[in-house]
Amino acid sequence: MKVANLVLGGALAALGVGAQAQTTTLKIGYATAPDSHYGVGSKVFCDQVEKGTQGRYKCQYFPNSALGGEREQIEAVQLGTQDLVNTSTGPVGNFVPEVKIVDIPFLFRDYDHARKVMDGPIGQGILAKFPSKGIVALAWTENGFRHMTNSKRDIVKPEDAKGLKMRTMENKVHMDGYRAFGILPTPMAFPELFGALQQGTVDGQENPIPVILSAKFAQVQKHLSLTGHVYSPALLLLSPKVWNKLSDSDKKVFVQAAQAAGAAQRKKVNEDEANGIAQLEQQGMKVIKTVDKPAFQAALKVPYEGYAKEFGADNIKKIQDVK
């Protein structure tokens, strides 16, 4: 009997019946805290992937820039030494130039407009450009509309920003625009930013409310102006090393999970936009809610001529015309 059991067990094992499926652990990194918009989106992605692959894939999380700045993490995903990154488009244009158009300041009217463009043929067409650069873009997530903070003064109009040394992302499209506001842009990776604000190496920075909240910038910045001067899209990027090993049905699970992550991340951005400003005021920030947006937009006349040359005036108009 014992011998028969052994023989049967051996035969089943040889067929793979009853054998435990192997679990692959994927490293996912992002810049902010686990309870931030990036944390919420990343968790939804990982939970859905784990469930949809019956535990064959799960994640190990690296929040708070534990794997480096966004540019370094994108590079690592491209090389295959990191599996996933949930990142803003800030440095992405250096890898996939077609992304840069969505970084133009004052391109999007509001969240509805931006999300419609990302979910529509223009945004989906941009995602399709990634594989030829050795990166898989699973879906758009979201960082949010960026606002200015600084330690010196209230900013209502571009003249108020003049001469302020502000940390920006390593993004030429942004920097060209911000120079026209009179700002002195200082590109710097995000992990260095809190210290730079604390030490006064820079006067200010610009980021969406969810980042200002989760990075605790109220501790080192007094003035917040709701400039909403640029929409900051984000993406869930996967290494082709992982993607190329997935079955067609697992690929579907990954893409659907990333889309669910995008929806959850946007919901958290909405919540932070609704509740975060009052929280930042309680933490001591002076918030300028009404800024002279037409004056900021007017200051962008010359940069927009450059954007039109680089990206095509018709392509910019196509985005502006999405209703």
Footprint of ligand PAF on residues 87-106 (CB under 6 A)? 88, 90
**Least distance from C-beta 248 to ligand PAF, angstroms?**
31
Torsion of CA 148, 150, 152, 153, to 10 degrees: 30
* Identity of the residue, 192 or 250, whose beta carbon is nearer to ligand PAF in the bound complex: 192
**Least distance from C-beta 291 to ligand PAF, angstroms?**
19
Q: Is 288 helix (H, G, I), strand (E, B) or coil?
A: strand
Q: Is 166 helix (H, G, I), strand (E, B) or coil?
A: strand
* Identity of the residue, 41 or 123, whose beta carbon is nearer to ligand PAF in the bound complex: 41
181 binds ligand PAF (CB under 6 A): no
Q: Residues 48, 78, 232, 265: which binds ligand PAF (CB under 6 A)? A: 232
CA dist 192 and 14 (Å) reads 53
- What is the bridge-based pairing of β-strands 136-150 and 184-187? unpaired
42 binds ligand PAF (CB under 6 A): no
Q: Residues 26, 27, 29, 31: which binds ligand PAF (CB under 6 A)? A: 31
Q: Residues 101, 127, 169, 226: which binds ligand PAF (CB under 6 A)? A: 169
Q: Residues 64, 143, 225, 227: which binds ligand PAF (CB under 6 A)? A: 143
Up-side HSE of residue 94: CA atoms within 13 Å toward CB?
A: 15
Footprint of ligand PAF on residues 254-293 (CB under 6 A)? none
* Cβ atoms 62, 76 nearer than 8 A: no
Site size toward ligand PAF, by CB under 6 A: 10
Q: Which amino acid is at 109?
A: R
* Identity of the residue, 31 or 253, whose beta carbon is nearer to ligand PAF in the bound complex: 31
Contacts of 287 (CB under 8 A, 6+ apart): 224, 225, 226, 277, 280, 281
Q: Is 323 exposed, middle or buried (0-12, 13-18, 19+ CB in 10 A)?
A: exposed
211 binds ligand PAF (CB under 6 A): yes
> Given the rule CB under 6 A, which residues bind ligand PAF?
31, 70, 88, 90, 143, 169, 190, 207, 211, 232
